[in-house]
Amino acid sequence: MTALQLDGRHIVLGLSGGIACYKAAELTRLLIKAGASVQVVMTEAAEKFIGAVTMQALSNRAVVTSQWDARPDNNMAHINLTREADAVVVAPASADFLAKLAQGRADELLSLLCLARRIDECPLLIAPAMNREMWAHPATQRNVAQVAADGAVVLGPAAGDQACGEIGDGRMLEAAELCDALIAFFQPKLLAGRTVLVSAGPTYEAIDPVRGITNLSSGKMGFAVARAAAEAGAVVTLVAGPVALPTPARVTRIDVTSARQMHDAVLAAAAAHDVFVATAAVADWRPIDAAAQKIKKVAGQGVPAFSLVENPDILAAVAALSTGPYCVGFAAESHDVEAHARAKLERKKVPLIVGNLGPATFGQDDNALLLVDAKGTRALPHADKLTLARQLVAEIAARIKS
């Protein structure tokens, strides 16, 4: 079961005017599902796009819409709202609202509380949403730059179809992306200033144009490691075999198919990274020659034979670099995990091997890991793969720091 990743966090969710207000309803639901409490604050313009009743029902809190709200004993909603908040998230943040933030204007409650919050204790995250021409306008770009310089975290925007019928930059990130971004924001930045290279997924070795040698790796563990490293503040490059997974936020992805392609991509990047985490399940062998056409089954001719050759050892090659990164290997075994992981540790000459039972985890969302090094072993108990990835990243950060 996935942990409540925002458990105990209190979020002030501000809505300024824009059609993207409809996404704030789903964002509220996701934040609460992740364990957060959510206080919604809406501008008058936002109320033209979505009702306060809807947001109250989803947040289980009365929505605040006016700086003149007399319910607080001191009549100072703009002060009280942020004093217990862990963050203020404005989604959507319209062009007009960005201009207010950049200029320090505070003529309604949402901009007022952003100005009155304790900057060092209550961070501000904004998700711009507007027409592509409005987003591209020099004034908006100046305002966004100023807001970021003042310490706000800018989330997006994305490119895509817009409500006006045009296509381009300015679309607000989806609710799930914003929720993930907020979760990532609160993760300890244990790898700030570091660069991490991750290999993930299977490789595919062609036998003919329609058949090949591969394995059951889904890539989920490797993608979780890439996400966790990015959350921890690292600059992350992900070399991925053929998988159907979305690229984690703030991760540069290189897609490959075969073991040789993965070898070339990893070796080209390895020296520029501080850490290499080899989660990929690389095929040990490949056919010497792939058939140019599909090998047909012909009655009476029996089973076709083909010869195999060994693929390059990517982890060992990186570990052998004179100026290479700190290397972490994975050992997906079907039995005797510790013994096989320790043998791999010695054979590859790397400081850390992470063992797991491959058949029990391939394609699944959870896992259990065994950390094996020269000093001994330590188990990371069964959990969802992102939780395990964060634990592994914390382990790696501690090892490269010492």
DSSP state letters, 76-112:
-HHHHHHHT-SEEEEEEE-HHHHHHHHHT--SSHHHH
Q: According to the model, what pLDDT value does residue 303 have?
A: 81
Q: According to the model, what pLDDT value does residue 402 have?
A: 65
Res. 3 pLDDT band, cuts 50 70 90: low
The rounded distance, in Å, linking the Cα atoms of 264 and 256 is: 10
Residues written for the chain: 402
* Token digits of residue 126: 């904004």
Higher pLDDT, 381 or 9: 9
The rounded distance, in Å, linking the Cα atoms of 228 and 240 is: 16
Residue type, 83: R
Q: What share of the chain is helix, strand, coil (3-state, %, to 5)?
A: 35, 25, 40
From 21, 114, 122, 164, the catalytic residue:
164
The rounded distance, in Å, linking the Cα atoms of 307 and 286 is: 8
Asked if residues 354 and 371 have their Cβ atoms less than 8 Å apart, the reply is yes
Q: According to the model, what pLDDT value does residue 323 have?
A: 87
Higher pLDDT, 390 or 305: 390
* Token digits of residue 116: 């009155």
Each residue's pLDDT tens digit, 249-267 = 999 999 999 999 999 999 9
CB atoms within 10 A of CB 307: 8
Residue 334 has pLDDT above 50, yes or no: yes
The rounded distance, in Å, linking the Cα atoms of 104 and 147 is: 10
Higher pLDDT, 325 or 294: 325
Q: How confident is the model over 16-44, as a mean pLDDT?
A: 96
Using a pLDDT cut of 90, give the percent of the chain over it. 69
Q: According to the model, what pLDDT value does residue 70 have?
A: 67
Largest CA distance in the chain: 92
Each residue's pLDDT tens digit, 169-198 = 999 999 999 999 999 999 999 999 999 999
The rounded distance, in Å, linking the Cα atoms of 15 and 85 is: 16
Cα 174 to chain centroid, rounded:
14
Name the strand (E) or helix (H) holding 398.
Answer: helix 385-401
Alpha helices in 10-51 (DSSP H): 21-33
Residue 2 has pLDDT above 70, yes or no: no
The rounded distance, in Å, linking the Cα atoms of 395 and 228 is: 12
Residue 357 has pLDDT above 70, yes or no: no
Name the strand (E) or helix (H) holding 217.
Answer: none
The interaxial angle of helices 109-116 and 95-103, nearest 10 deg, is 40
For the stretch 154-174, what's the b/e string if a residue is b when 16 or more beta carbons lie within 10 angstroms of its beta carbon? bbbbeeeebeeeeeebbbbbb
Each residue's pLDDT tens digit, 122-131 = 999 999 999 9
Q: According to the model, what pLDDT value does residue 306 have?
A: 81
Q: According to the model, what pLDDT value does residue 1 have?
A: 39
Asked if residues 41 and 219 have their Cβ atoms less than 8 Å apart, the reply is no
* Token digits of residue 181: 């971004």
Q: Taking all residues of the chain, what is their mean pLDDT, rounded to a whole number?
A: 91
Handedness of CA 310, 312, 314, 315 (dihedral sign): positive
pTM score > 0.85 for this model?
A: yes
List, as one string, the DSSP characters of 119-168. TTTS-EEEEE---HHHHHSHHHHHHHHHHHHTTPEE---EEEE-TTS-EE
Cα 48 to chain centroid, rounded:
33
**Catalytic annotation on 164?**
yes
Using a pLDDT cut of 70, give the percent of the chain over it. 96
> Which domains does the chain show, CATH number per domain?
10-185 (3.40.50.1950), 195-401 (3.40.50.10300)
Cα 227 to chain centroid, rounded:
4
Q: How confident is the model over 40-53, as a mean pLDDT?
A: 95
Task: Find, among 69, 77, 138, the residue nearest to 102 by Cα.
Answer: 138
Res. 289 pLDDT band, cuts 50 70 90: confident
Handedness of CA 252, 396, 378, 328 (dihedral sign): positive
Res. 358 pLDDT band, cuts 50 70 90: low
Q: According to the model, what pLDDT value does residue 359 have?
A: 62
Higher pLDDT, 294 or 48: 48
Secondary structure of residue 345 in the 3-state scheme? helix
Phi (first) and psi of residue 327, to 5 degrees: -105, 135
Q: How confident is the model over 142-154, as a mean pLDDT?
A: 97
Asked if residues 27 and 91 have their Cβ atoms less than 8 Å apart, the reply is yes
Secondary structure of residue 3 in the 3-state scheme? coil
Residue 72 has pLDDT above 80, yes or no: no
Q: According to the model, what pLDDT value does residue 297 have?
A: 82
Res. 10 pLDDT band, cuts 50 70 90: very high
